[in-house]
Chain A
Amino acid sequence: MIIPKLALRNLLGAGLRTWLNVLVLSFSFVAIIWTQGLYKGMGDQAIHSMIDIEYGGGQYWHEKYDPYDPLALQDAHGKVPASLKKMIGNGQATPVLITQGVIYPSGRFQSVLLKGIDPSQTIISLPSGFIDVEGEELPALIGSRMAKSTGLKIGDMVTIRWRDAYGTFDARDAMIVHVMSTTVQSVDEGQIWIPLKKMQELTRMEDEATLIIVSKDAVNPPDIQGWEFKSLDVLLKNIRELVEVKTAGSSIIYVILLLLAMLGIFDTQVLSIFRRRKEIGTLMAMGLTRAKIIGLFTLEGAMHSVLAAIVAAVYGIPLLIYFAKKGWAMPQAVDSYGFAIGEKLFPTYSAGLVIGTTLLVLIVTTIVSFLPTRKIAKLKPTDALRGKLS
């Protein structure tokens, strides 16, 4: 017990030098937790939005559906299977029909994805109820990004042209009944939502769908021939990988910070051993083994990280809580990065993140503190007492 006490007394006795090291190390603590929390928050927010607004509890894709190949959409539709019809009837799934189309806002030509959805569905949080309109005109729902890029607004009429199941051209004038504001670009950019039944009728794809979204509480979705079930793990794979890449990319910042802090601790240790040769010699003369002296110096160094954790907690916890509650306003350009994070990013800090970061800093500091102390092992007590380093 004497070693830890001695180590703490020595450390605090070093005064400003210790506190400078502790402060730099505490910056590393806060920076690591903050940046990791930001990326975790970004991932969590995007995943939550996408599940809520686009993916539901998973999706059945028609076997020919490939979201990255709009040309293949022409064949990517089929009759809704009987087993899924039952789920749709029970409110556990909703079909979506997708086809390629063209709109002509202000005489311009613009390719769009025409999507048909049941206006009364409650599986995803898309405001499909707005297209539940009876009348001559085809009601259409678009997102705010689409509205911005096309110049369309509520009440505007726009001509939509598409090819039906047999390749025959058809066109209708549609009325924009609502412009939704959503964080999920993939239900907004270049898309027009219309009532499913109307779309099935217009495209001569009666009772057909391209994909079927199942509800979040649906359990064990059955295997269906001609349809592939895409679980949330599959659907969210890209976004998770993107977050991992971003997190790895950001690690360079805190690796630099950590390196700076470690450099400070390493220098401090080297200096301590050099300046405290006589003290080492005295301790040896008093009967302390070399291992115990090495332990003392290593513990002194490692205690920097403990103090840094306490200092980081003092100013870091209020700062991180503030960001977690108020969020971090995102610049406009972030909307085009492909992340469904909206106007504000709310960081997420988990216990694992805090404990993991503390352990990481503690281990790295201990190793860095130990390295210079190896010299003590070679030190002769007589030389040390005379202030020599052999």
Chain B
Amino acid sequence: MKRTVFLIFCFIGIAVIGMAEVPSGDWILKQVDENIGSDNKIAVTQMIIHGRRGSRAVKSKSWIHGIDKSFTEYLAPPREQGTKMLKLGDQLWMYTPSTDRTIKISGHMLRQSVMGSDLSYEDVMEDPQLHKIYDAEVIAEETYLDRPCWVLELSSSETEVAYYTRKVWVDRERFVILKEERYARGGKLLKTTEVKEIVRIQNRWVPKKIVFKDVLKSGKGTEFIMESIEFNADIPSYIFSKAALRK
């Protein structure tokens, strides 16, 4: 009897210690946002889109301020070079050098695929803070890419989110998302992202190479390569104006 009671106390003790070691999902998500989040960012990225008829690369430079303002200039391929996009809230303008015209595009365009890739414009041009739109819960601990991770299940706390639920693998020490699964409201897996390389920039751990994959579509997905990123960069206010599109 004494032995049984001792064992029960041992189990409870271990469980309590274990629980104490695992922080809350919301806290982890906040750390993730703090690691990668910044008021201002300037990033040069490359997307390698693997299609049925081969692969093509799209290179761009983006100036991002929060989730409302962003300005993107396409640097390559030559056909897209000089194309610029400005997003202010839910309004979108596009400038094409071939026509030398600026056109206002429906805000719904943000939900369309970027040049046939597995990413939408909102995926590329927005930088949402996950802890503000999702409730997180730790559901497992796993190792991914030889790194210890918490597996978090995120369920939307707001109505207007693109993905109703997400499952993320967060590096326990670096607070960076290494793998992600994005689900439809009905529970169907839609997209996955897998980080292939991480670098340390300005005391932050930043995914350098991510593979985005629309799982419903056959193919190898889209590689997203962060060539450079500058956090809390000094962005002049004129960048987020329509005049900047023609410069």
Contact = CB atoms under 8 A, between A and B. Distances in A.
B217 to A, nearest CB: 5
On chain A, which size bracket covers the interface?
20 to 34
A161 B184 CA distance: 8
- Most central of B108, B214, B217, B218 by chain A CB within 10 Å: B108
A35 to B, nearest CB: 42
Nearest to A167: B160
A72 to B, nearest CB: 7
B163 interface: yes
A107 B185 contact: no
B190 A169 contact: yes
Contact of B108 (A72, A166, A170, A202): A72
A108 B53 CA distance: 13
Interface string B139-174: 000000000000000001001111110000000000
Nearest to A169: B184
B111 interface: yes
B8 interface: no
A133 interface: no
A166 B159 contact: yes
Given A109-B217, A161-B216, A170 B186 contact: yes
Contact of B164 (A72, A74, A159, A168): A168
Main secondary structure of the interface of A (DSSP, over half): mixed
A172 B188 CA distance: 7
Given A161-B190, A166-B159, A109 B185 contact: no
Nearest to B188: A171
Contacts of A171: 184, 186, 188, 190, 216
A216 interface: no
Contacts of B22: none
A214 B217 CA distance: 39
Nearest to A163: B111
Given A72-B106, A72-B108, A163-B111, A168 B160 contact: yes
Contacts of B216: 104, 107, 109, 159, 161, 171
B186 A172 contact: yes
Contacts of A164: 185
A71 interface: yes
Interface string B183-195: 0111010100000
B4 to A, nearest CB: 47
Nearest to B113: A109
A169 B106 contact: no
A241 B112 CA distance: 34
B218 A169 contact: no
B217 A167 contact: no
A377 to B, nearest CB: 65
B109 interface: yes
Contacts of B111: 74, 163, 167
B188 A159 contact: yes
B63 to A, nearest CB: 25
A106 B212 CA distance: 20
Interface of A: 69, 71-72, 74, 104, 106-109, 159, 161, 163-164, 166-172, 202
24 contacts: A69-B106, A71-B106, A74-B108, A107-B216, A109-B217, A159-B188, A161-B216, A163-B111, A164-B185, A166-B160, A167-B111, A167-B160, A167-B161, A168-B159, A168-B163, A168-B164, A169-B164, A169-B190, A170-B164, A170-B186, A170-B188, A171-B184, A171-B186, A171-B190
The 3 A-B pairs with the shortest beta carbon distances in the complex, nearest first, are: A107-B218, A71-B108, A171-B184
